[in-house]
Amino acid sequence: MKTYVARRLLALIPVILVVATVAFVLIHLAPGDPASIIAGPDASPDDVARIQRQLGLDAPFHVQLFRWYGRLARGDLGQSIFLRRPVLEAIVDRAEPTILLTLYATLIAVTLGVPAGVVAARHHDGTADQALMAGALVGISIPNFLLGLLLILVFSVRLGWFPVAGYVPLESGWLGTLRSLTLPAFALGVVQSALIARIARSAMLDVLREPFITAGRARGLSERAVVYKHALKNAMIPTITVIGISLAILISGSVIVEQVFNIPGLGRLIISAVLRRDYPVIQGVVLCIAGIYMLVNLAVDLSYVVFDPRIRYQ
């Protein structure tokens, strides 16, 4: 097991290198540059050129690329052009809201999605099943930014229960944080819960048709024990995989939701960086998110062991 984890972690290095190169090349090939943004709309081309020189953006492409590799080797993601601070520091600073939002949204997705899937499977083709799956279809179809705006309209503007936007950091009280993240977490989580519900349902249906379930019922086990003890545990493997995938989707989904709800997280960081062509920040955040994806994948693979003792990693 330990060697397996070590091997997987080592395998991160080449992937990181590829991501680093692709991120650098793509963003530098894209038109637009930070100097024009700093100089503003009325600036003359000479002013823009002067700022480019100051930023070192007049150097040839390969020189800039190797500078980037050099810094990366030293664990330095560089200096943000607009924030005037190290990229790593900016990322750490912005991680809190995004991590909390993602966890909160996952919690919502799982607590809504798994029971809904199980109930739907138990009442296969019944009214509850159809109602839940119709709900799930709506949930999957609605874009999260739209759901976000609708939630703001109802729960903030009409009812005044939650703030319209903004984020209260943990250090000023967790209740405030919870309040400020509730609407965005629902906007993100509801969509994912629909996905999880559908997978949980079909996984449950498959398991409920297995011979060991029939055997359990024949032995006179209560329906509760059959469904929750035996079937659910076996249906968890595909469900966990989907939860893992959805965690990753949530990280990228938070990009849009953070923009709508004005949450100063990684999503806002990368969007404003892209709009202003803050190259070091874009590269840094892309690398960071790629790393998180890979770690989540690893965690999902390892969690299979808990649910299915037959799985062994060597």
Partner 1 sequence: MKPAVLALGVVLALAAPEVVQPSEQPRTGGVLRAAMIGEPPTLDLHTTTAVIVQQITWHIYETLFTYDRQYNAVPMLADTHTVTDNGRTYLVKLRRGVKFHNGKELTSADVVASLRRWGRLATPGKAAWRNVEGVEAKDPYTVAMYLKEPSGSLLQVLARPNNGAAIYPKEIADGAGDQPIKEYIGTGPYRFVEHKPDRHIRLARFKDYVARTDPPNGPGGKRVAYLDEILFVPVPDVAVRLAGVETGEYHYGQQIKPDQYERVKTVRDIVPGIIKPAGWTTAVLNHKQGLMTDKRIRQAFQAALDMEPILAAGWGNKTFYRVDPSLMHVEQPQWYTKVGEDAYNQRNPAKAQKLLKDAGYAGQPVRWITTKEYEWMYKNALVARQQLEAAGFKIDLQVVDWATLVQRRNKPEVWDVFSTGITFNPDPAYNTGVQCNWPGWWCHEEKDRWLDAVARESEPSRRKAMWGKVQAIFYEDVGRVKFGDFFTLEVTRKELHGYHPTGEMAFWNVWLSK
Query: Does residue 259 bind partner 1 (CB under 8 A)?
Result: yes
Extract the tokens encoding 313.
Answer: 């990693």
Helix (H, G, I), strand (E, B) or coil at 31: coil
Least CB distance to partner 1 at residue 172 (A):
12
Question: From residue 285, how far is each of 77, 182, 229, 281 by CA, in Å?
Answer: 9, 25, 42, 6
Which listed residue (134, 137, 164, 215) binds partner 1 by CB under 8 A? 164
Binding mask 179-218 toward partner 1 (x if CB under 8 A, else -) reads ----------------------------------------
* Segment 78 to 97, residues that bind partner 1, using CB under 8 A: 82-84, 90, 94
Residue 36 binds partner 1 (CB under 8 A) = yes
In Å, what is the CA distance from 258 to each residue of 186, 188, 213, 268, 289?
12, 10, 44, 6, 15
* Sign of the CA dihedral with 152 first, then 158, 159, and 160 last: positive
Q: Which of 15, 30, 92, 170 binds partner 1 (CB under 8 A)?
A: 30
Residues between 39 and 78 with contacts to partner 1, criterion CB under 8 A: 39-48, 50-51, 54
Q: What are residue 79's DSSP bridge partners?
A: 86
User: Does 156 engage in binding with partner 1 (CB under 8 A)?
Assistant: yes
Which of the residues 136 through 155 are near partner 1 (CB under 8 A)? 149, 152-153
Check residue 37 for interaction with partner 1 (CB under 8 A). Answer: yes
Shortest distance (Å) from residue 77 CB to partner 1:
16
The residue type at 184: P
Structural tokens at position 124? 């296969």
* Binder of partner 1 out of 78, 86, 264, 291 (CB under 8 A): 264
Backbone φ, ψ for residue 182 (5° rounding): -65, -50
